[in-house]
Amino acid sequence: MCGIVGYVGELACGEVLLDGLSRLEYRGYDSAGIAIWDGESIRRVRAEGKLFNLDRRFRENPIEGSIGIGHTRWATHGAPVERNAHPHRVDDVVLVHNGIIENHTALRQELEAEGRVFESDTDTEVLAHLVARERAAGHDLLHAVRRATGHVRGSWAVVVLDAHSPDELVAARHASPLVIGLGSGENFAASDVPAILRHTRRMIFLEDGDTVRLTRTAVEITAEDGSRVERTPKAITWDPVAAEKQGYKHFMLKEIHEQGDRIVDTLRGRILLDEDEVTLPSLATLEGIVPSLRRIVILACGTSWHAGLVGRYAIGGLARLPVEVELASEFRYRNPVMDGETLAIAISQSGETADTLAAIEEAKRLGARTMTICNVMESSMTRAVEATLYTHAGPEIGVASTKAYTTQLSALLLLALWLGQLRGTIPAAERQATIRSLRALPRQIEEMLGDEALIREVGREYMHARSMLFLGRGNEFPTALEGALKLKEISYIHAEGYAAGEMKHGPIALIDEELPVVVVAPRNRLLEKTMSNLEEVRARGGRVIAVGDRSVSELERHADHVLHVPSTTEWVQPILSVIPLQLFAYAIADLRGTDVDQPRNLAKSVTVE
């Protein structure tokens, strides 16, 4: 969602801010702005739409200066128009904000009653007025921000600049991420690491309640209770190049191609080669509860929820534990039953999804033990739980999740094997076969990616479809859901995923020659059943795109097209089956000319409810 960059140093601030914002574009936004102290006053430029609009305006009227703040806004309160874009200015204060001020209506009324005039429809402007009011009362900027945030409820990452103290920025965090980048003679603030990674790798991840004063040479952090604190900087080890397109047309395509390597990274050090065993040291704190565990509840949203659905089959099958998979947005409001013998697992690429965070907090409050499968170091999710199993997908920039999904599936399978080992529920042969097929994945993925051009040609035939149905059975039912989600979110073609066995209970009525049906039918123990569904579609004139093993001759006979997926063992198969669907959705979206990496209305990490 929204992105923040703040800079104080010696460089041309406009360039630092625009470059930083461009590296946050993937988060999704619909307007942008920057504000810079030019030596006499704070000048601001804002624009609707994409960053090039802001960039053009800035170049027409450049602002020279070396301290400033910038923002990309994803509209929540108020339309995506210039007057709602950040930075917001009130008196001499300018401010950028990520998050939501929940009590903004009451605060606005209070401030208006005091004679304050609002220029925007945003919740954020309330915060700017509050800071300005505290400044007018004589508080220095740090204390003004602390006092102002004391009045608001909700979530915020803010960075503030004030014309009366133009050598400093003040930043604050509560339930919305904010990172401080440490430089030499310069310092940075950002909502996300990539924004400032080309300038520094030394970062401080702020804690909730922190307020920070940043000057060129100092970073002073005040904790929630008002005491000065030191927070240990972390070194960011991933390469900024990982967040570049590296010659691919889109990040999504690059990320699809990276999957073999990222799965290797996720497995690395977690499989004991000699014994074909799994070791997960980061879960050591939970090891003791495994024998007495009675159930697992997985909490997630979107693609991560689909990963959880696949995980349910593997954990149920290998560790013989009952698993519930809940949409985090539903779980948090339904007064769920939890206890100390339940392990709640939050799955999240970003580690910042508001619903998943709230759900895991709720599970914790109700007494469950907690862990997360997460891709982002030091994210809010990893701080909220007892233990983290990191996926090592690297930065995922395309809004449509691809490598995050397949690394989540790999991590879930490691978890299922680990639980099964500790509970003594996996026959050795099955464990060995599963681990061997995990190891074979990179080679098989490489082989599948060779079909990209063929899949694109199939996509060309269906690029004008108005709707598509995706069917799958067993642990490939979530693959069907994920294939449909990929297609709809980037191509804007309506698509629905369905359990193949449910087709006769309703969706069969939709089938005619206008509705392409994608049937996920890899070689597994349910293949015959899936084939029956495929034939039911054909019998009603439907066109079928099968995802399966080309060596299954019936598939070639009965489907209009086969997107090839090599065969592997049962629990590993969904990691492969989804890849042709990612390529299929990508091809159609690209052929239709949509904004593949930043589809309309979507944000990479959904930090509001």
Q: Which residues are catalytic?
A: 2, 604
Three-state SS across 13-58?
HHHHHHHHHHCCHHHCCCEEEEEEECCCCEEEEEEECCHHHHHHHH
Q: Closest distance between ligand M6R and the C-beta of residue 350, in Å?
A: 3
Main-chain phi, psi angles of 277, to 5 degrees? -125, 160
Element (H, E) at 482: helix 477-491
Distance, C-alpha 262 to centroid of its chain: 16
Q: Given the complex with ligand M6R, which of 72 and 348 has the nearer CB atom?
A: 348
CA 199 from centroid of its chain's CA atoms: 24
**H or E segment to which residue 337 belongs:** none
The residue among 562, 591, 556 whose CA lies nearest residue 577 is 562
H-assigned helices in 301-353: 302-319, 328-331
CB of 489 to ligand M6R, least distance (A): 6
* Beta carbon nearer to ligand M6R, 346 or 500: 346
Smaller CB separation from ligand M6R, 323 or 347: 347
Q: Is the Cβ of residue 145 or residue 481 nearer to ligand M6R in the bound state?
A: 481
**Sequence letter at residue 415:** L
Residues 6+ positions from 180 with CB-CB distance below 8 Å? 171, 187, 188, 189, 203, 204, 206, 212, 214, 219
CB of 495 to ligand M6R, least distance (A): 13
Residues that bind ligand M6R (CB under 6 A): 301-304, 348-350, 353, 356, 399-401, 485, 489, 605-606
What is the rounded CA–CA span in Å between residue 495 and residue 62? 46
Ramachandran sector of residue 577 (left: φ over 0; alpha: ψ -120 to 50; beta: rest): alpha
Rounded least distance, CB 301 to ligand M6R, Å:
4
CA angle 435, 418, 480 (to 5 degrees): 65
The nearest distance, CB 379 to ligand M6R, in angstroms, is 9
Residue 12 vs 327, nearer CB to ligand M6R: 327
- Smallest distance, Å, CB 602 to ligand M6R? 7
Rama region for 559: left / alpha / beta (φ>0; ψ in -120 to 50; rest): beta
Give 30 or 396: the residue with its C-beta nearer to ligand M6R: 396
CA distance 74 to 79: 10
- Reading the block at residue 217, the tokens are 């040479």
Q: Tokens 């102002």 identify what position?
A: 148
Cβ–Cβ contacts within 10 Å for residue 164, how many? Answer: 10
Q: Classify the C-alpha dihedral 8-12-18-19 as positive or negative.
A: negative
**Cα separation of 276 and 428, whole Å?**
9
Alpha-carbon span 503 to 529, nearest angstrom: 12
Distance in Å, CB of 518 to ligand M6R, minimum: 17
List phi, psi (to 5°) of 108.
Answer: -65, -45
Q: What is the DSSP string of 86-133?
A: SSEEETTEEEEEEEEETTHHHHHHHHHHTT----SS-SHHHHHHHHHH
The CA distance from 336 to 314, in Å, is 24
Measured distance CA(62)–CA(58) in Å, rounded = 5
Q: Which is nearer to ligand M6R, 422 or 485 (CB)?
A: 485
The beta strand positions in 288-407, using DSSP E, are 295-300, 323-327, 342-348, 369-374, 387-390
Min dist CB 415 to ligand M6R, Å, is 16
CB of 485 to ligand M6R, least distance (A): 6
Decide whether 162 or 489 has the Cβ nearer to ligand M6R.
489
Nearest approach in angstroms of CB 465 to ligand M6R is 20
What is the rounded distance in angstroms from the CA atom of residue 268 to the CA atom of residue 122? Answer: 46
